[in-house]
Amino acid sequence: MSLPHLADPAGRYRTMRLIRSFEELALEWVRSGLVVGGTHPYSGQEAVAVGVCAALDPADQLTSTHRGHGHVLAKGADPGRLLAELLGRVGGLNGGRGGSMHAADFSLGILGANGIVGAGAPIAVGAAWAARRRGEPTVVASFFGDGALNQGVLLESLNLASIWRAPVVFVCENNGYATTLPAASAVGGSACGRAAAFGIPAETVDGMDVEAVRAAAERAVRRARSGGGPSFLECLTYRFEAHHTMERRFRLTYRTAEEVASWRERDPLASSPVAGLPEAAAIDREVVELLSTAAEFALTSAEPDPATATDHLYASGLRPRSGAAL
């Protein structure tokens, strides 16, 4: 019982288109000042989120990253509520408390984007361990970038998942750079070699090909669900935009125009089996519609009341002492 909206190539194309258009809208809203603080655009990497989520069941879970919109949307989050979150409105996924970097929807198994590189991986391992202990068939996908391969806690997590045989699918989105640092000069050895060294089956796939990602993810999910333990997928991909929207203030030279162009030619939307068919045009129109409703929802959602600023600080209900003078 995989995710219904990703069950066929058309659904996967639709979700990739949704992510792309969502990111374009978000970029517009950042530029116009509607979204404060900026975002890390996912454009170009859609095939990874969609391909992996296509292999998941609704009750499966994921942990995401600073570049999380794609994962959150692919798992099925409402685009209107994600947009509202970017605007910091009460109708947002997190009630406006999280913003782009912390978007979560626990009802859909989205355990949260995370502002700290690598931090999602051990959470995924623990969540997977707990689910298995409780007799639930849950598989947890953990997304992270090539930069995260150099975070100690992520490497510790590979080991922990390995010895626990935790039902985790580690998904490394190797987009070639951690901000400005090329993976080639930051990652000694190879991504898959590292995972394999911890005893985790690992494979590299074309991260611009949604069907290839889905096929590999299905193998990994099947292994996890049947008690075979964790797997590792390195998805070779590329981000079409800046690392972060604020990057446009700098004149950076870490990627050549040619390099960007050559990857844009491999746009995952264009290589979808549905691309070019009349169906695709219909889907594109559908998505425009969907996003305009979503935007409407977000823009009309209320601003939170400053008096509620410490709401939810403690799940137990403890109210913290104020910072104002007595």
Partner 1 sequence: MTLLSYAKAMNRALADALEADPAVCVFGEDVGAGLAGLTLGLQQRFGAERVVDVPLSEQAFTSAGIGAALNGMRPVVELQIPSLLFLVFEQLANQAHKFSLMTGGQARVPLTVVVPGSGSRSGWAGQHSDHPYGLFAHVGIKTLAPATPTDAYGLLSSAVRDDDPVVLFAPAGALGVREDVTAPLVPVPIGEARIHRPGSDVTVVAVGHLVHQALAVAEELADEVSVEVLDPRTLYPLDRSALVESLGRTGRLVVVDDSNRFAGFAAEVLAVAAEECRLLAPPRRVTRPDGAVLPFARALDRALQPGPEQLRDAVRAVLK
Residues that bind ligand TPP (CB under 6 A): 66-67, 115-118, 145-148, 151, 175, 177-179, 243
The one among 19, 117, 217, 287 contacting partner 1 by CB under 8 A: 117
Q: Return the residues of window 20-59 that contact Mg ion according to CB under 5 A.
A: none
| 159 touches, from ligand TPP, a copy of itself, Mg ion, none (C-beta below 5 to 8 Å by class) | a copy of itself
First-to-last C-alpha distance (Å) of the chain: 57
Distance CA 118, CA 325 (A): 39
Contact 207, 213 (CB under 8 A): yes
Phi/psi for 222 (5° steps) reads: -60, -45
Dig out the tokens for 224 from the structure.
């996890």
Q: Which stretch binds partner 1 (CB under 8 A): 123-131, 200-208, 271-279, 288-296?
A: 123-131
Phi/psi for 228 (5° steps) reads: -85, 0
Say if strands 231-236 and 202-206 run parallel, antiparallel, or are unpaired: parallel
Instruction: Establish if 131 lies at the interface with a copy of itself (CB under 8 A).
Output: no
The one among 24, 57, 156, 218 contacting partner 1 by CB under 8 A: 156
Distance CA 160, CA 122 (A): 8
Phi/psi for 140 (5° steps) reads: -115, 125
Which residue in 134, 171, 137, 158 sits closest to 54, CA to CA?
A: 171
How big is the site for partner 1, counted in residues (CB under 8 A)?
Answer: 90
Instruction: Report, in Å, the least distance between residue 176 CB and ligand TPP.
Output: 8
Number of helices and strands in the chain (H, E): 11, 7
Please give the DSSP secondary-structure letter assigned to residue 29: H
Minimal CB distance to ligand TPP: which residue? 145
The one among 41, 44, 80, 118 contacting partner 1 by CB under 8 A: 118
Instruction: Establish if 145 lies at the interface with Mg ion (CB under 5 A).
Output: yes
Which residue in 154, 109, 96 sits closest to 301, CA to CA?
A: 96
Q: Which stretch binds a copy of itself (CB under 8 A): 5-13, 68-76, 149-157, 205-213?
A: 149-157
Q: Return the residues of window 190-209 that contact a copy of itself according to CB under 8 A.
A: 190, 193-194, 196-200
Alpha-carbon dihedral of residues 115, 120, 126, 130, nearest 10 degrees?
A: 90
Instruction: Establish if 159 lies at the interface with partner 1 (CB under 8 A).
Output: yes
Distance CA 75, CA 22 (A): 15
Distance CA 147, CA 117 (A): 8
| 227 touches, from partner 1, Mg ion, ligand TPP, none (C-beta below 5 to 8 Å by class) | none
Instruction: Establish if 234 lies at the interface with Mg ion (CB under 5 A).
Output: no
Q: Return the residues of window 168-187 that contact a copy of itself according to CB under 8 A.
A: 185-187
Question: Closer to ligand TPP at the Cβ: 116 or 163?
Answer: 116
The one among 28, 58, 180, 292 contacting partner 1 by CB under 8 A: 180
- C-alpha R_g of the chain: 19
The one among 27, 47, 53, 111 contacting partner 1 by CB under 8 A: 111
Instruction: Establish if 152 lies at the interface with a copy of itself (CB under 8 A).
Output: yes
Enumerate binding residues for a copy of itself (CB under 8 A): 150-156, 158-159, 162-163, 185-190, 193-194, 196-200
Enumerate binding residues for Mg ion (CB under 5 A): 145-146, 175, 178
